[in-house]
Amino acid sequence: MATTEEHQGITFNFSHFRLERILNSNTSTKLVSLLGHFTDLSEEKWAVVILEKKPFTEEDLTSKGLFSEATKLREEFVNDIYGNFDCFPQPEINSVKTTVIYPATQKHIDKYSKQEVHIVQETQELYQEVTLKHIEREQFSLEWLYNILEHKKEKERIIFEDPCEETGFILLPDLKWDNKNPETLYCLALVRKHGIKSVRDLNSNHLPLLRNILTKGVAAIEEKYAVGRSQLRIYLHYQPSFYHLHVHFTYLKHDAPGIYCEKSHLLDTVISNIELMPDYYQRATLSFVVRENDRLWDDFRGDSRKAIKHD
Amino acid sequence: MATTEEHQGITFNFSHFRLERILNSNTSTKLVSLLGHFTDLSEEKWAVVILEKKPFTEEDLTSKGLFSEATKLREEFVNDIYGNFDCFPQPEINSVKTTVIYPATQKHIDKYSKQEVHIVQETQELYQEVTLKHIEREQFSLEWLYNILEHKKEKERIIFEDPCEETGFILLPDLKWDNKNPETLYCLALVRKHGIKSVRDLNSNHLPLLRNILTKGVAAIEEKYAVGRSQLRIYLHYQPSFYHLHVHFTYLKHDAPGIYCEKSHLLDTVISNIELMPDYYQRATLSFVVRENDRLWDDFRGDSRKAIKHD
């Protein structure tokens, strides 16, 4: 991140924003990211503008808010007891969350642009020849995680700890969670044992570890947040964002990021699979999603042997 | 649905809406459903009001829309090149999709109320003793589906058909899809063969059927909609909404309903599991979600034998 203070003293005026293109639009969450110029500031420097409609608050739903004389209703169509309308709230209670990045670099533009994604089917051979080599080449440092395990950082955030070197783990609130609202509960269990990269490495030797995380993780969350096992989604990502085994605990009704079937594997299913077949994760074909601009996609798309020769 | 025309001639005035309670609120999609009275119409009859913020359109993002003099910006905080604002668009370009159900019955109130949900772990024994009995007791008629398979209904909607009685299927656009926009593509493959209720019934005898759906379904969608296999999420639900085997095809970037890991099973994973172990789906523990007001939840929660004695 640049250390300039370019924003200071700048006043953004939306009537001078000239849209170059829509980088991304999510019709479900009502969010758009835009690229353009503030023509009164500069014809050259890019601005990224992110707009997101806001959720309704209880305050909005009062007679001083939406249900006031000032709100107009326009009928679209009525069928029997069902009526459809357009409702026009006053601006004060219907504002839009707005982020301006100015000046924006190419990296910002890429980050907020729509990314093409692809699903791939990874056989054990493709794991060994393509994915594993990719992980070894591109893995980020795990220093931050070892700092947590060694109590050098974030010690005060620990919810629960089992110190056993074989089956132990540390349970923390995920950084995406405010550690308060149980409706968006998101905790992470980091295993103490080093060297288990992902589900691909799991076999029957790890069953005590997996069962321990399930039992003690659930008990700790029940005790601290009063959310029981039947309201928890407990899962592992494949591919994970870092290659040291960890397990996600989220509130079942919370649409946490990355809980889709092409990315998440329920811990109960993982345990059941290994119980049925000790080397399940060394033999199964696993699907996952890669971004089009990720080198891994080139490796999967091309002939895998050829891709490896590039190294 | 009642056949009265209660809405006709009624003018709803939001300033006379008295909120009784918020039935549900989705902070991700920015939707609320509300229960209350229009006090000028009746103090007794209930109204359900559903409000949803709208996605941005290209038209909104012009100098006549959001980027006009009329739009005010209020600074929240600025940190380096990142600025956060509240933006106040004019009501005309920032309306709220509104549905009024009046008068609303208890069934409407239940439908739009937040539902508590629970995840259960179904062993093969629990399937036999609890779930299967529940399915046999509560299954809806499949007449509508047989009508499609026999070309009595929706024949013009068929995208592709393989008439083989063992491995054949019919591919249709799902009713949730407009059959146009590839960004929200959603197709359904209905197998011709009767009697396969769900993934629980699948074994190695069904591998030719499953592979046929995968290969020919992908080819038909590629030919008709130019969406390739790597951009398709191909999966089965467990529990499904009806108990005749069917496979969902959705665009990978489309957040279709029910694609979470506790509900959806990728067809590639299903095939891989049966290849690894022919009776995988008769032996595995499968997790799924049940609503709290569903009798199945009582059956799972209670002692399963006791629940069965109730029958």
Cβ atoms of A85 and A43 closer than 8 Å: no
The pLDDT confidence band at residue B178, using thresholds 50, 70 and 90, is confident
The percentage of chain A sitting over the pLDDT mark of 70, rounded to a whole number, equals 94
pLDDT at residue A5 in the model: 41
Taking an 8 Å cut-off on Cβ atoms, the answer to whether B252 and A286 are in contact is: no
> In this predicted structure, what is the pLDDT of residue B54?
92
Radius of gyration of chain B (CA): 24
Residue of B80, B117, B283 with shortest CB distance to A253: B117
User: Do the Cβ atoms of B210 and B271 come closer than 8 Å?
Assistant: yes
ipTM above 0.85, yes or no: no
Catalytic residues of B: 246
Is the previous residue joined to B231 through a cis bond, with omega within 30 degrees of 0?
A: no
- Given the structure tokens 């640049």, which residue do they identify? A2
Kindly determine whether residue A14 and residue B87, on different chains, have CB atoms separated by under 8 Å: yes
Cβ-nearest to A61 among B8, B22, B286 = B22
Residue A7 — pLDDT band, cuts 50, 70, 90? low
Q: Does the beta-carbon distance from A287 to B269 stay under 8 Å?
A: yes
Residue A245 is predicted with a pLDDT of 98
Question: Looking at chain A, which residue has its C-alpha nearest residue B280?
Answer: A276
Is A248 in a helix, a strand, or coil?
strand
CA distance B151 to chain A (A): 31
Chain B residues inside the 8 Å CB shell of A55: 25-28, 30, 53
- Cα four-point dihedral sign B258, B261, B265, B268: positive
In this complex, which of A56, A73, A264 lies closest to B32 when CB atoms are compared?
A56
Tell me, what's the pLDDT at A47? Answer: 97
Handedness of CA A255, A260, A266, A272 (dihedral sign): positive
What residues in B contact A287, CB-CB < 8 Å? Answer: 266, 268-269
If you average pLDDT over each of A53-67, B176-190, B251-265, B268-282, which comes out highest?
A: B268-282
CA distance A58 to chain B (A): 8
Q: Hey, are the CB atoms on A98 and B86 less than 8 Å from each other?
A: yes
Instruction: Name the band, by pLDDT with cuts 50, 70 and 90, for residue A114.
Output: confident
CA dihedral (B43, B48, B54, B60) positive or negative = negative
pLDDT tens sequence across B93-120: 999 999 999 999 998 998 899 888 999 9
Higher local confidence (pLDDT), B169 or A178: B169
Mean pLDDT (chain A) is 91
State how far residue B139 is from chain A, nearest Cα, in angstroms.
25
Answer yes or no: pTM beyond 0.90: no
